[in-house]
């Protein structure tokens, strides 16, 4: 008898465990929306609903967003929950969240994500439908077109961006160079001067794998006068690409840029960008080739920022200026968003309204006319960023194709660019043609994948 | 091992209950196994034969993933490196652990203090904090190289050198030999003193005694440590993820990290599952080899 | 061999033993000592030498580590709180469910037990990475991703899924003589009562050990939270340290190291308070058969 009771008990216990689990499961999935959205920081809810938003960036961008969101809450009573972090590893999380339907209501998206994750238009809302809330007329039609994927305006462009050189002129002066390098020969001369006057550990420029790919594209487009990719087809032959790889290697050979091994040794890799290295902070690496919107970040990490200068674009060939601009990032509303009107309101606030004044140039020079006006009125446009942006936009003559930044190509480690430029710098290839073949095949494959959708 | 059964007449149901009491206690475990282990395990096998992608849907893919794994450079390198990692780390860790345990087993003063000091890394070693520390120690201008500099040695660029980078990941795990050591120590204490005394009378040297008495007597622990350490080594993730990010040039991209990259960086779930399965089969084969070799070298006293 | 000579040999051997122990011990512990020292150094000083005593001690690193709060979303204290809010349930549930399973495996004979037992053992060698992807998809269908209650991190432990502990406890239970529960059974105790009246008290050191190990491992766990916790306000310590490492404004080594050190202090304290339980626990359970 006792035994039977005991058995019953054991059974009940296990069932109890199960039941307990089941019920917690249910209640939580029901409450995810509200609990997660309000968060513990928020004060008593005003009942005006709540939103969530996610972005990546540096500490200063985090602060700008938080201030802007506080202003938004004050104005509308809508609480906004936040999710943010640094770029490294960000895309892993975001893509998983998008897939699992856990993505935030409003997302800061990289431009290529629109085609990569929502090529069929299933993830992001068509913002044309909210044109009564968001003033679309503030944006140039060309950038709106760039954000239109699968016939839907899936995001609004925050800013346009391109790559440009930045120099730490303090180090250049120590090497006896007063002028900002403006030609390829200037670069070679700077490499020589750094090596002889300052020593082997000093370089006028530092570039990771992706930076090299970008600079090579600038070089090729300028030399051959045609875009990298057009109509989803790579426009360059293996031989042409090989000359580009030789060009990058010549920079390494002439002490213009450190080898990737040297940079890895300094702790710079896929997880740790150049601005975190002592070599950059202390001026031993005196130049970078970066997005115009990154100016403040790189300046901010310098021990002595006084010599930080926006450089000039360099024209490498004679067929064209070369280089490209692209939509740097956009704000999008996910299809899983519960309150799309409120989300649209938030986007309008951040891009066209008072929020743009608070964001200033944190995400680049605002693409929206009224946003730029608000930022300028608030004095929140960084001179450096403006200068860099102006120089880039005046110079470049090509647009970027969305596949260029696809993860298969760009991921570090594992992407094609990383493997080709890393492998070449580490001496894993016998010659540049072999590396160029890998790059050609990798890009072609990525383009085919993109076409398949 | 049997429950006490009272010699009373019972109904068939009750009798069944009596015979299967244990099963009732296993209900949670069985459910857990089915839901959290078996189902994912089986579906992972299924996915491995598809080209499942978070954003591109799922399609039957035959054994293409497996062919890719054995033909593509990236995966082959990862498998090779993982073997290298395991075959450096496991023996080094075990030899070290046994050596220190052997010394500790001589009536040493402060044995507890030493034991604690050796054990601390095992407790903390898995944490992110230690991975951060490792990065600091092995930078080009880090503590290790400065220290080597005192001896006039120009240390390598640990984090940038394709050979050394893997080595520092190994070192992080060897540093955590404490848990294996504690097991060895307990086993050594269990070896009967009589055996040594008899051997001493026979004039056997200490080294001889170590290899012909100590080692055979503790083979069960050696075996246990070996099997668990191999299983662990093949799953290493935190070290490469945080310390080197898999670099330089993928030289520390162990299989577990590559599976993660495939799954959550490139959204290639099918490939990730196939690779995970290849690794599982490898671990299984090694384990089976270890278990079947047991009878040749593992000595169980009872 | 004269006694005198034996004596000297002994002394040399002794010296050698201590020498090795101390040198190895120093090497083992030096990284941690250096880390402690480095947290009191300025960023400029950290990589200038190998000594662990700072020349100009500063608390900057600690101040930065403690005050860093990402606009009030997450700070070090909240990260601690978050960590323990799932680690503690996880520990408790692991111990309870593992004991129940181990009891079923070790104290009863029934048809299919040996098969179930070998299945259990084989899951010990099942790499987590094989399960990651399908588990992620499964938790996603449950709606558990980014769950504010950290469901994916602890619910499975309700079902004795931590095989290692089940296995350990089976080993422990086997070493408890059967006479005891037989006697109790004759006195009229049912199996459940035997479990908590007789087995559990005898097993309590091992239960503590299991709990402690699970505590350490759960605090160290990085991949679980990385996959399943995405809101900064919910970040546990391991992810917070990583977030702090990724911060864009240069690399403040003293801040990162101070934060790392603080993050492991609770674990160190627990270890020092309960080191015997740890060491005996690990030594006693693993190898009996």
pLDDT at residue C229 in the model: 87
Chains contacting A with at least 3 CB pairs below 8 Å? Answer: B, C
Q: Considering only alpha carbons, which residue of chain C is nearest residue B4? A: C182
Q: Considering only alpha carbons, which residue of chain C is nearest residue B112? A: C276
Q: What is the band of B224 on the pLDDT scale with cuts at 50, 70, 90?
A: confident
CB–CB of A261 and B157 under 8 A?
A: yes
CB–CB of A266 and B28 under 8 A?
A: no
Is some CB atom of chain B closer than 8 A to the CB atom of C118? no
Query: Taking a C-beta distance cutoff of 8 angstroms, is the pair B7, C185 a contact?
Result: no
Q: Considering only alpha carbons, which residue of chain A is nearest residue C47? A: A278
**By C-alpha distance, which of A196, A115, A99, A214 is closest to A155?**
A115
pLDDT at residue A57 in the model: 83
Q: Is the pLDDT of residue B149 over 60?
A: yes
Q: Nearest CA to CA, how far is C242 from chain B (Å)?
A: 7
Cα(B255)–Cα(B277) distance, rounded to whole angstroms? 11
Decide the pairing of beta strands A308-310 and A229-230.
unpaired
Interface of C with A in 80-119 (CB under 8 A): 97, 100
CB–CB of C223 and B44 under 8 A?
A: no
Q: Considering only alpha carbons, which residue of chain B is nearest residue A8? A: B24
Enumerate the residues of chain B whose CB falls inside 8 A of the CB of residue C128: 235
Cα(B291)–Cα(B270) distance, rounded to whole angstroms? 31
pLDDT at residue A212 in the model: 96
Cα(A61)–Cα(A293) distance, rounded to whole angstroms? 11
pLDDT at residue A20 in the model: 37
What CA dihedral angle connects A231, A237, A238 and A244, to 10 degrees? -90
Cα(B33)–Cα(C148) distance, rounded to whole angstroms? 25
| Mean pLDDT of the region C269-288 | 72
pLDDT at residue C283 in the model: 65
With a pLDDT cut of 90, the percent of chain B lying above it is: 30
Is some CB atom of chain C closer than 8 A to the CB atom of B32? yes
With a pLDDT cut of 90, the percent of chain C lying above it is: 21
Q: What is the band of C287 on the pLDDT scale with cuts at 50, 70, 90?
A: very low
Q: Which residues, including other chains, have CB under 8 Å from residue C273's CB and lie 6 or more apart?
A: none
Each residue's pLDDT tens digit, C2-42? 556 778 888 888 888 899 899 989 888 888 888 898 899 88
Q: Nearest CA to CA, how far is A403 from chain B (Å)?
A: 14
**By C-alpha distance, which of A412, A110, A166, A207 is closest to A298?**
A166
Domains belonging to chain C, first-starting first, are 76-252+264-285 (1.10.3720.10)
Positive/negative CA dihedral, A380, A384, A385, A387: positive
DSSP for C93-111?
HHHHHHHHHHHHHHH---T
Architecture of domain A50-160+327-384: 3-Layer(aba) Sandwich (3.40)
Q: How many CB atoms lie within 10 A of CB A56?
A: 21
Is some CB atom of chain C closer than 8 A to the CB atom of B280? yes
- C97 versus C164: the higher-pLDDT residue is C97
pLDDT at residue B156 in the model: 86
Each residue's pLDDT tens digit, B93-102? 999 999 999 9
ipTM: 0.84
Q: Is the pLDDT of residue C281 over 80?
A: no
The residues of chain A scoring below 50 in pLDDT are: 1-47
How far are the Cα atoms of B97, B295, C44, C282 from residue B221, in angstroms, in the given order? 12, 14, 47, 12
pLDDT at residue A31 in the model: 35
Q: Is the pLDDT of residue C202 over 90?
A: no
Q: Which among B31, B159, B266 has CB closest to A408?
A: B266
Q: Nearest CA to CA, how far is A20 from chain B (Å)?
A: 12
Ranges in chain A annotated CATH 3.40.190.10: 50-160+327-384, 162-325+388-452
Chains contacting C with at least 3 CB pairs below 8 Å? Answer: A, B
Helix (H, G, I), strand (E, B), or coil: what is residue A335?
Answer: coil
Q: Which among C136, C143, C193 has CB closest to A32?
A: C143
Distance, first Cα to last Cα, chain C: 42
Min mean pLDDT across A22-36, B98-112, B136-150, C199-213 is at: A22-36
Q: Considering only alpha carbons, which residue of chain B is nearest residue A260? A: B160
Question: Which CATH superfamily includes the segment(s) A162-325+388-452?
Answer: Periplasmic binding protein-like II (3.40.190.10)
Helix (H, G, I), strand (E, B), or coil: what is residue A220?
Answer: helix
| 3-state SS, one letter per residue, for chain B | CCCCCCCCCCCHHHHHHHHCHHHHHCHHHHHHHHHHHHHHHHHHHHHCCECCECCCECCECCCHHHHHHHHCHHHHHHHHHHHHHHHHHHHHHHHHHHHHHHHHCCCCCCHHHHHHHHHHHHHHCCCHHHHHHHHHHCCCCCHHHHHHHHCCCCCCCCCCCCCHHHHHHHHHHHCCCHHHHHHHHHHHHHCCHHHHHHHHHCCCCHHHHHHHHHHHHCHHHHHHHHHHHHHHHCCCCHHHHHHHCCCCCCCCCCHHHHHHHHHHHCCEHHHHHHHHHHHHHHHHHHHHHHHHHHHHHCCCCC
pLDDT at residue A6 in the model: 46
Spell out the long-range contacts of A65-71 with Cβ–Cβ below 8 A and sequence spacing 24 or more: A65/A359, A65/A362, A66/C71, A66/C72, A67/A358, A68/A349, A68/A350, A68/A355, A68/A358, A68/A359, A71/A354, A71/A355, A71/A358
Cα(B108)–Cα(B117) distance, rounded to whole angstroms? 14
Query: Taking a C-beta distance cutoff of 8 angstroms, is the pair C269, C215 a contact?
Result: no
Interface of C with B in 61-90 (CB under 8 A): none
Q: Which residues, including other chains, have CB under 8 Å from residue B228's CB and lie 6 or more apart?
A: none
Min mean pLDDT across A190-199, B1-10, B159-168 is at: B1-10
- Using omega within 30 degrees of 0 as the cis cutoff, is the peptide bond preceding A453 cis? no
Domains belonging to chain B, first-starting first, are 30-297 (1.10.3720.10)
Q: Nearest CA to CA, how far is A137 from chain C (Å)?
A: 33
Q: Which among B2, B115, B235 has CB closest to C129?
A: B235
Cα(B83)–Cα(B71) distance, rounded to whole angstroms? 17
Which residue(s) pair with A165 in the sheet? A289
Query: Taking a C-beta distance cutoff of 8 angstroms, is the pair A150, A120 a contact?
Result: yes
Which pTM value belongs to this model? 0.83
Query: Taking a C-beta distance cutoff of 8 angstroms, is the pair C241, B132 a contact?
Result: yes
H/E element, A250 = helix A238-253
Mutate to test the interface with B, among C108, C222, C271 (most CBs of B within 10 A): C108
Output the average pLDDT for chain B.
86
H/E element, C76 = helix C76-107
H/E element, A12 = helix A2-31
**By C-alpha distance, which of C31, A410, A269, C52 is closest to B165?**
A269
Residue B86 in tokens: 């395991």
Cα(C135)–Cα(A31) distance, rounded to whole angstroms? 22
Cα(B138)–Cα(B43) distance, rounded to whole angstroms? 41
Q: What is the band of B9 on the pLDDT scale with cuts at 50, 70, 90?
A: low
Mutate to test the interface with B, among C11, C87, C116, C130 (most CBs of B within 10 A): C130
Query: Taking a C-beta distance cutoff of 8 angstroms, is the pair B178, B122 a contact?
Result: yes
Is some CB atom of chain C closer than 8 A to the CB atom of B299? no
CB–CB of C257 and B132 under 8 A?
A: yes
Under DSSP, the state recorded for A149 is: E
| Mean pLDDT of the region C113-137 | 85
Enumerate the residues of chain B whose CB falls inside 8 A of the CB of residue A22: none
What CA dihedral angle connects A68, A71, A76 and A77, to 10 degrees? 110
Among left, alpha and beta (phi > 0; psi -120 to 50; other), residue A399 is beta
Decide the pairing of beta strands A106-110 and A324-333.
antiparallel
Residue A105 in tokens: 């209501």
pLDDT at residue C288 in the model: 39
Decide the pairing of beta strands A287-291 and A398-399.
unpaired
pLDDT at residue A12 in the model: 39
H/E element, A54 = strand A50-56
């Amino acid at each position: 008898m006792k035994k039977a009771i005991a058995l019953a008990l054991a059974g009940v216990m296990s069932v109890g465990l199960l039941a307990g689990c089941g019920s917690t499961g249910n209640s939580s999935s029901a409450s995810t929306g509200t609990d997660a959205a309000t968060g513990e920081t928020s004060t008593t809810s005003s009942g005006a609903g709540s939103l969530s938003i996610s972005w990546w960036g540096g500490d200063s961008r985090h602060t700008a967003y938080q201030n802007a969101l506080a202003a938004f809450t004050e104005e509308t009573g809508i609480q906004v929950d936040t999710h943010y972090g640094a770029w490294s590893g960000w895309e892993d999380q975001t893509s998983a969240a998008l897939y699992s339907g856990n993505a935030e209501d409003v997302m800061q998206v990289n431009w290529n994500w629109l085609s990569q994750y929502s090529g069929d238009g299933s993830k992001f809302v068509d913002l044309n439908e909210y044109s009564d809330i968001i003033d679309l007329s503030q944006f140039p039609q060309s950038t709106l077109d760039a954000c239109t994927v699968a016939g839907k305006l899936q995001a609004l462009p925050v800013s346009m961006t391109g790559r440009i050189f930045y120099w730490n002129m303090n180090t250049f002066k120590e090497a006896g160079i007063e002028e900002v390098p403006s030609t390829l020969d200037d670069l070679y001369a700077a490499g020589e001067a750094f090596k002889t006057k300052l020593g082997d550990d000093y370089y006028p420029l530092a570039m990771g794998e992706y930076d090299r790919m970008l600079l090579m594209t600038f070089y090729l487009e300028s030399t051959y006068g045609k875009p990298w990719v057009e109509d989803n087809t790579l426009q360059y032959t293996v031989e042409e690409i090989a000359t580009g790889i030789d060009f990058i290697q010549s920079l390494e050979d002439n002490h213009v840029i450190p080898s990737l091994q040297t940079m890895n040794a300094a702790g710079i890799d896929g997880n740790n960008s150049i601005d975190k290295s002592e070599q950059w902070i202390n001026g031993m690496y005196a130049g970078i080739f970066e997005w115009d919107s990154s100016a403040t970040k790189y300046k901010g990490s310098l021990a002595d920022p006084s010599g930080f200068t926006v450089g000039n674009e360099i024209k490498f060939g004679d067929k064209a200026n070369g280089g490209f601009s692209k939509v740097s990032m956009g704000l999008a509303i996910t299809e899983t968003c519960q309150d799309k009107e409120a989300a649209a309101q938030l986007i309008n606030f951040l891009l066209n309204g008072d929020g743009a004044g608070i964001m200033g140039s944190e995400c680049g020079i605002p693409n929206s006319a009224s946003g730029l006006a608000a930022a300028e009125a608030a004095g929140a446009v960084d001179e450096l960023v403006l200068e860099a942006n102006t120089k880039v936009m005046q110079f470049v003559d090509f647009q970027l194709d969305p596949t260029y930044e696809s993860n298969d190509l760009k991921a570090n480690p594992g992407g094609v660019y990383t493997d080709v430029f890393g492998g070449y710098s580490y001496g894993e290839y016998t010659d540049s043609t072999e590396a160029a073949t890998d790059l050609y095949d990798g890009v072609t494959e990525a383009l085919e994948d993109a076409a398949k959708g | 091992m049997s429950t006490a059964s009272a010699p009373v007449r019972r109904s068939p149901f009750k009798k069944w209950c009596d015979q299967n009491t244990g099963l009732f206690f296993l209900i949670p475990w069985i459910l857990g196994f089915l839901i959290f282990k078996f189902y994912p395990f089986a579906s992972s096998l299924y996915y491995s034969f598809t080209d499942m992608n978070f954003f591109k849907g799922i399609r039957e893919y035959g054994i293409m993933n497996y062919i890719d794994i054995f033909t593509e450079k990236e995966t082959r390198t990862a498998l090779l490196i993982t073997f290298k990692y395991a075959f450096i780390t496991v023996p080094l860790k075990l030899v070290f652990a046994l050596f220190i345990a052997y010394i500790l087993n001589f009536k040493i003063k402060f044995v507890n203090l030493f034991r604690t000091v050796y054990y601390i890394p095992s407790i903390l070693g898995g944490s992110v904090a230690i991975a951060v520390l490792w990065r600091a120690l092995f930078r080009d201008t880090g503590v290790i190289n400065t220290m080597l500099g005192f001896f006039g040695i120009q240390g390598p660029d640990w984090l940038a050198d394709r050979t050394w980078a893997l080595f520092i990941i190994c070192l992080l795990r060897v540093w955590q030999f404490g848990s294996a050591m504690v097991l060895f120590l307990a086993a050594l204490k269990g070896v009967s003193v009589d055996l040594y005394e008899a051997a001493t009378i026979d004039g056997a040297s200490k080294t001889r005694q170590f290899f012909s008495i100590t080692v055979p007597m503790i083979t069960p622990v050696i075996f246990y440590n070996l099997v668990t350490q191999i299983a662990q080594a093949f799953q290493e993730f935190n070290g490469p993820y945080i310390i080197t990010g898999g670099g330089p040039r993928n030289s520390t991209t162990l299989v577990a990290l590559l599976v993660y990259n495939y799954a959550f960086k490139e959204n290639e779930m099918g490939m990730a599952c196939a690779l995970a399965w290849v690794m599982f089969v490898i671990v299984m084969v090694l384990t089976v080899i270890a278990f079947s070799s047991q009878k040749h070298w593992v000595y169980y006293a009872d | 061999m004269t006694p005198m000579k034996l004596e000297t040999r002994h002394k040399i051997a002794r010296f050698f033993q201590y020498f090795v122990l101390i040198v190895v011990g120093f090497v083992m512990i030096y990284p941690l000592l250096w880390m402690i020292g480095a947290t009191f150094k300025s960023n400029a000083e950290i990589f200038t030498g190998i000594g662990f005593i700072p020349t100009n001690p500063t608390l900057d690193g600690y101040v930065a580590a403690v005050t860093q709060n990402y606009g009030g979303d997450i700070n070090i204290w909240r990260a601690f709180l978050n960590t323990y809010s799932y680690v503690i349930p996880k520990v408790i549930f692991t111990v309870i469910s593992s004991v129940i399973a181990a009891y079923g495996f070790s104290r009863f004979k029934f048809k299919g037990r040996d098969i179930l037992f070998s299945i259990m053992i084989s899951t010990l060698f099942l790499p987590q990475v094989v399960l990651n992807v399908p588990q992620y998809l499964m938790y996603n269908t449950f709606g558990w991703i980014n769950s504010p209650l950290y469901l994916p991190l602890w619910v499975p432990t309700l079902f004795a899924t931590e095989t290692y502990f089940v296995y350990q406890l089976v080993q422990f239970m086997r070493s408890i003589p059967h006479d005891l529960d037989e006697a109790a059974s004759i006195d009229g105790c049912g199996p459940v009562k035997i479990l908590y009246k007789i087995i559990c008290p005898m097993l309590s050191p091992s239960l503590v050990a299991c709990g402690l190990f699970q505590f350490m491992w759960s605090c160290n766990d990085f991949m679980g939270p990385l996959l399943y916790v995405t809101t900064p306000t919910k970040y546990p310590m391991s992810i917070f340290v990583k977030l702090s490492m990724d911060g864009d404004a240069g690399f403040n080594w003293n801040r990162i190291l101070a934060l790392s050190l603080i993050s492991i202090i609770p674990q160190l304290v627990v270890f020092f308070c309960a080191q015997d339980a740890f060491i005996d626990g690990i030594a006693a359970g693993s190898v009996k058969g």
